[in-house]
Copies of this chain bind each other. A is one copy, B any other.
Amino acid sequence: MLIGELAERAGTSTRTLRYYEANGLVRARRSANGYRVYDESELRVVGEIRALLAIGFGLQDTRPFVECLRAGNECSAVCPDSVLALRRRLAEVDAIVSQLTQVREQLKTQLDNAIGRRHDHGDGRDVSGAGAQ
């Protein structure tokens, strides 16, 4: 399989595949004319990478999962390093969510103040557009 076919099948671009390879994540042999030649299994690898990127992992963070697949596991998450990475990301997400929740509170307060104080004393409508919390 050449790079164009892999890109299309994986739903990405050749540029991106070369970038992954430059980062040591995707592997290719070279044919006599210098073209990259991919095993069928690389399709799975690329799919994993893209799934992980989509949920906020950095490219480097996908390495343990890729290595886990290459080690013969059918699930990229079963290896210890993968579990660590998942836990790290989970903690990150939790931190971001709690921070955003605080931000949300501030925004709502500002809206309530701004609108409530503008020219009336309100009728109790939810003027912030935020819904009940």
Contact = CB atoms under 8 A, between A and B. Distances in A.
Interface of A: 55-56, 75, 77-78, 82-83, 86-87, 89-91, 93-94, 96-97, 100-101, 103-104, 106-108, 110-111, 113-115, 117-118, 128-130
Given A78-B114, A97-B100, A118-B78, A90 B128 contact: yes
Nearest to A82: B114
B82 A107 contact: no
B86 A93 contact: no
A113 B77 contact: yes
This chain: how many copies in the complex? 2
A96 B104 CA distance: 11
B97 A101 contact: yes
10 contacts: A56-B103, A75-B114, A75-B117, A77-B110, A77-B114, A78-B114, A89-B107, A90-B128, A93-B107, A97-B100
